[in-house]
Amino acid sequence: MKKITLLLILVFNIGLLSSCKNKSSKNNTSRSQYNSSYSYETEYNEDGYDEDGYNEDGYNEDGYDEDGYDEDGYNEDGRDEYGKDEYGHIEDGTYTATVDYYNPSTGYSATYTLDVEVESGEVTVIYFPNDGYLDDDHIYPSELDDSGYVSIEGEEGKTYDIQIDI
């Protein structure tokens, strides 16, 4: 009885080992077939561009990659993928922002969603829903940080903490 049990264990282990070996060799074969099926050499024309119009560095004749950015990471409008210029400023325009207002004289504070005007990376105007606004006659424009945040001082010590979603 012990001999039969021992023989069954031996046969089972041999079958298991050969099964693992076959699976491993199958994986290696398909992996090498996969790698060899995708290896090719890109051909360039006499001007140094491939069939898609890109040179060996990945740029077209205008100097932009397939995503439209030059080697410094800027598109033809001078903006990076986040819409910032070489100085880190977002594009001039009107943006929706969260504005935390605080009046130290009264202790009043509130949070609003308002439009703000950005020029040269600074918030220059805060617009209110009733067509009112605060411009540089009432606030001191300040530069946004990389995350779109700025704290602006206004008349009589009022503060406006502004966060633009960029």
Element (H, E) at 162: strand 159-164
Structure letter (DSSP) for residue 66: T
Give yes or no: residues 59 and 119 share one domain: no
Q: Are residues 71 and 118 in the same domain?
A: no
* Residue at 18 is within a domain: yes
- Domain total in the chain: 3
Residues 2 and 56 in one domain: no
My answer on whether 51 and 22 are in the same domain is no
Domain enclosing residue 4, as ranges:
1-40
Cα–Cα distance measured from residue 132 to residue 163, given in angstroms and rounded to the nearest whole number: 20
Answer whether residue 127 shows pLDDT above 60: yes
Residue 20 belongs to a domain: yes
pLDDT digit string, tens, across residues 131-153: 999 999 999 999 998 889 999 99
- Tell me, yes or no, whether 32 and 61 share the same domain: no
Same domain for 32 and 49, yes or no, is no
Q: Tens digits of per-residue pLDDT, 57-98?
A: 888 887 788 777 777 777 777 777 777 777 777 888 999 999
Q: Within this chain, do residues 67 and 29 fall inside the same structural domain, yes or no?
A: no
Q: Judge whether 87 lies within some domain.
A: no
Indicate whether 135 belongs to any domain. yes
Cβ atoms of 88 and 146 within 8 Å: the answer is yes
Same domain? For 72 and 48 the reply is yes
* 9 vs 108, higher pLDDT: 108
117 within domain boundaries: yes
pTM passes above 0.75? no
